[in-house]
Amino acid sequence: MHLHKYKAHTLPVYVMAVLLFGTKTYVMYRFVFSIHMDNVLQEFILFINPFVSAFLLFGLSVWIKNPSKKQAYIRYTALIGSFIIYGNLVFYRSFTDFLTIPQLFQMSNANDLGGSVLSLVKVYDVLFFIDVVLIWRLCSRQVSTFLTPYQRGRKMFVLSVSLMLLSLNFLLAEMERPQLFTRAFDRAYLVKNIGLFNYHIYDLVVQSKTKTQRVFADGNELPEIKTYMDQHIHLDQPSELTGIAKGKNIIFIWAESLQSFVINNDVKGQEVTPFLNELTRDEDTFYFENFYHQTEQGKTSDSEFLVANSLYPLSSGAVFFTHAQNDFYAIPEQIKDIDYTSAVFHANNKSFWNRDQMYERLGYDHFYDQEAFAINEADKIGWGLNDESFFKQSIPYLDELEKPFYAKFITLTNHFPFELDEEDRSIEPYDSKSSTLNNYFPTVRYMDEAIETFFNELQSAGLYEDSIILIMGDHYGISANHHKAMGQYLNQETLTPYDHIQLQRVPFFIHIPGYGKGEIVEDIAGQIDVKPTLLHLLDINTTDDMYFGNDLFQKEHKGFIALRNGDFVSEDYVYASQSCYKRQTGELLTKDGTTPFTEDEAVDPCADLYDQVKRELNYSDQIIYGDLFRFHDFGTQR
């Protein structure tokens, strides 16, 4: 008892708060967030950085003279800090990623998330706030410790120790990962090395810096970017299919959360996507089996941005929110010159992802949002109107559009958390420990059946023969948080970074009624390639255009598909999580049979492409952050 009193009286409350809050944060890092550790130094850095951040935050209390304000500061620092961690946790459960400043400005979307957010909140989450309760009680019990003001020398000592610990943390982080702060796209690496709170401060600085880029941009950056495009990308030789879509309606289906692993696959002996499977073998269809989504935090909106502009999304936030006032030269605007009408069909709130503003900026003529559809209780599934009713109700609007038209349909049923009533299921859920993966298969099957029905409706309405139909998975549906269950489904004990990249493949179909020469295309492709492919199918000259994709029907390509986090896929290699793999076999390339290459080693066969990928992503960022298209003359096309 005497020892207990001694500790209580000699250990400052802010130090006890550091120990409690730091321990909680470390436990969250190590056992709740899936932060991968490669070596002992990483383990040590991850262990110390929660306490470094906590000491800096709570240590500032020694400079507060008023006892009640000092007490309040410690209490609310613990509470607010815990909510910051918890907000990241909820976000991480869905996206396996950490929040960014632009993401916080997208919280207007939360009004429409409904059950998706609730499904990410667990009953046991209250345990994450136990340290907050203890800190509040300590502040109440140790009131006397707040009455004695700290001497200036002690204040300076606490501040000095805080800064020394922070410097040590940063030094170790730089030793473990040189040029760490130039790799802002890798948020997991930043959190692992400098901690969640320092990461958020760093993110704030980066975002503030990017906001100034538009102010100081003058267009002088464009010639270098245009030269790069002319050398590596703009290979405008006509292909056999150039102009085949001229005068045809273009119907583009955004298949929500559809990944390629379900195509020509089954669950419990039943086909997951029987109609899409049939399309892969259809003589009028091109199916790209190695087609990758390239989205980041903007998910569906990122895929829309990629397709419309053939520019990369941002590494944090969504362009639809952060740069909706930029000048773009997107597909809807370009096809006006050949007298096409454009429209989007999406039975959701028009402001979700800021679509109402961004669609106008991209040049769409019509947007049929949830107000255009009759949504009754019988037709509701998950996020809103079920896909079957959505397509059926869209046909009259589609028939009324001035022809030829470009119409985009964004489905809803196959959306996280993949809810589907038993009576709507055509196949049973899977039986892993992941309810997300289990429920994914029935909703995918529902969407597959709805797309088949839509094809039939188009034929009945007389729209099918004069249209070309594209179907694309917009982004992944099953995140890395469910790798264990996914491994079970794929009959693999563990999933490597190579396997994770392969799971980023999404289906892409181009269906041309009456063509008769369709095939399964094995070449690597991505969402960045859709714009030039589609424009050339429409026989639109792109000489003065600026984009980073290739026409998928041309023989020459730049040779890689870049993912937004810096990973990439080439014809021969896959670069993932700083390791280089053979694409065809998944074999990890090593120096001595045990040590993976890193991107800094010249002998790494991925090294040269890694530099080009970084360069291309950087050029795209320059265009967006600087709003550079306002300085570019798009010639007679505009």
Structure confidence by residue, pLDDT tens digits, 182-240: 555 567 778 888 888 888 888 787 777 667 777 788 889 999 999 999 888 876 678 89
Residue 93 to residues 69, 433, 502, 582, Cα–Cα distance (Å): 36, 15, 21, 30
Q: Which CATH class is domain 222-229+256-637?
A: alpha beta
Min mean pLDDT across 54-58, 307-311, 591-595 is at 591-595
- CA atoms within 13 Å, Cβ hemisphere of 573: 20
Give the model confidence (pLDDT) of 444-456 as tens digits: 999 999 999 999 9
Give the model confidence (pLDDT) of 491-536 as tens digits: 998 999 999 999 999 999 999 999 999 999 999 999 999 999 999 9
Which of 468, 529, 506 is CA-nearest to residue 256? 506
pLDDT band, very low/low/confident/very high, at 170 (cuts 50, 70, 90)? confident
| β-strand partners of 580 | 575
Domain ranges of the chain: 2-213, 222-229+256-637
Sort 489 into a burial class: Cβ within 10 Å, 0-12 / 13-18 / 19+.
buried
| β-strand partners of 576 | 579
How far apart, in whole angstroms, are the C-alpha atoms of residue 416 and residue 384?
12
Which of 246, 274, 255, 268 is CA-nearest to residue 538? 246
Which of 552, 549, 551 is CA-nearest to residue 561? 549
pLDDT band, very low/low/confident/very high, at 4 (cuts 50, 70, 90)? very low
Instruction: Indicate the SS3 state at residue 103.
Output: helix
How far apart, in whole angstroms, are the C-alpha atoms of residue 547 and residue 623?
10
Residue 506 to residues 249, 568, 571, 602, Cα–Cα distance (Å): 24, 15, 17, 32
How far apart, in whole angstroms, are the C-alpha atoms of residue 496 and residue 493?
10
pLDDT at 382: 66
pLDDT at 3: 38
Pair type for strands 384-385 and 380-381:
antiparallel
Cβ(378)–Cβ(343) below 8 Å: no
pTM recorded for the entire structure: 0.77
Instruction: Given the residues 300, 411, 443, 533, select the one marked as catalytic.
Output: 300
Two structure tokens written together for 563: 């993912």
How far apart, in whole angstroms, are the C-alpha atoms of residue 450 and residue 138?
59
pLDDT at 5: 44
User: Which letter does DSSP use for residue 450 in this model?
Assistant: H
Would you tell me the crossing angle of helices 40-59 and 67-95 to the nearest 10 degrees? 140
- CA atoms within 13 Å, Cβ hemisphere of 610: 22
Around Cβ 541, how many Cβ atoms within 10 Å?
13
Alpha helices in 379-519 (DSSP H): 387-400, 435-460, 483-489, 497-502
Give the model confidence (pLDDT) of 296-335 as tens digits: 988 999 999 999 999 999 988 788 878 888 999 999 999 9
Cβ(586)–Cβ(569) below 8 Å: no
Min mean pLDDT across 41-45, 68-72, 273-277, 316-320 is at 316-320
| β-strand partners of 473 | 255
Is residue 550 scored above 80 in pLDDT?
yes
Is residue 487 scored above 50 in pLDDT?
yes
How far apart, in whole angstroms, are the C-alpha atoms of residue 430 and residue 265?
13
**Residue 300 annotated to the active site:** yes
H-helix or E-strand containing 323?
A: none
Min mean pLDDT across 98-102, 182-186, 341-345 is at 182-186
Q: In Å, how far from its chain's centre is CA 93?
A: 13
User: Which letter does DSSP use for residue 313 in this model?
Assistant: P
Which of 51, 252, 246 is CA-nearest to residue 161? 51
Give the model confidence (pLDDT) of 156-169 as tens digits: 988 899 899 989 98
What ranges make up the beta strands (E) of 52-95? none
pLDDT at 179: 65
What ranges make up the beta strands (E) of 136-258? 249-255
Stronger pLDDT, 234 or 414, i.e. the higher one: 414
